[in-house]
Amino acid sequence: MKNFEIQGLNFKFLVVYVLCSVLCALPFKAFPLTAEEVVKKSQEAFFYQGKDSKARVLMKLISKSGQERVRELTMLRKNYGASGGEQKYFMYFYQPVDVKDMTFMVYKYPAKDDDRWLFVPAINMVRRIAAQDKSSSFVGSDFTYEDVSGRDIEDDNHTLTKEEKLDAKDCYVIKSAPKAQDVDYAYKLSWIDKGTFLPLKEEYYDKKGELYKVFSADEIKDVKGFPTITKRAMKNLSSGHRTEVTYVKADYNIGIEDSLFSERFLKQPPKKWIE
């Protein structure tokens, strides 16, 4: 009886021990991520870091012949809900001079069209603008609106094609093919850093399967604990046009008020946010 009890105790102990080991091991065990999970984590790291963010952005639009045009803006973002959820964007333009003081606001919704407003200072007017085409160029650059604020995960079929090193960093290589014909590319390959989940490179292929556009993350810095792409470029191989983007300043969790995203502040942006 005593023996049995000891045996029973031993048996229970064994069961608990095994269960504990399994439970404790779970977080550390590298179950392979699905392609969707990689893309989700990448979006979180790329478009949703922090509760909010602020960046002073310098865009250089460079033509094939080398002629440069400059767009300089402050971009403020606030998240509403979890990663992949609603966001609001507020942009204030410093350059070029003909759009100085222009502001632009986006309410971004998952799985439906965004709301967009533009403030035109010369006639002191705030207007909604039609925003159906997500693949439209952002201010004439090689980046699209989706490149700036992200694309719905459900809009593409994602597959993990391989895992390889890029610039000595382990990467997932994800192929994303749009389910609908709503963008210019047939599919996109993304090299997503396993450490930071930031995209280090993206290749865009046209309907003939030819590579025509390349994104590269050229500098990554740590800002308040968030790895941030501070230099990036998009090159259009067929037109020879390219856009280089530098985050002159970046910050996170700065307490942007909900009221910022309003007609009042589109017309008169608070100085503290655009300095």
> Which residues sit at the interface with another protein, rule CB under 8 A?
61, 63, 67, 69-70, 95-98, 100, 113, 115, 122-125, 128-133, 135-137, 139-141, 241, 259, 262-264, 268, 270-271
Shortest reach from residue 37's CB to another protein, in Å: 31
CB distance 35 to 159 below 8 Å: yes
HSE-CB of 194 using CA atoms within 13 angstroms: 17
163 vs 257, beta carbon nearer another protein:
257
Residue 153: phi and psi, rounded to 5, are -60, -35
Shortest reach from residue 259's CB to another protein, in Å: 8
Longest CA–CA span in the chain (Å) reads: 94
83 vs 95, beta carbon nearer another protein:
95
Residue 95: phi and psi, rounded to 5, are -135, 150
| Chain centroid, CA 251 distance in Å | 15
As a whole number of angstroms, the distance between CA 60 and CA 91 comes to 17
143 vs 197, beta carbon nearer another protein:
143
Shortest reach from residue 234's CB to another protein, in Å: 12
Residue 13: phi and psi, rounded to 5, are -60, -40
CB distance 233 to 60 below 8 Å: no
5 vs 258, beta carbon nearer another protein:
258
Shortest reach from residue 123's CB to another protein, in Å: 5
As a whole number of angstroms, the distance between CA 252 and CA 31 comes to 31
Shortest reach from residue 32's CB to another protein, in Å: 38
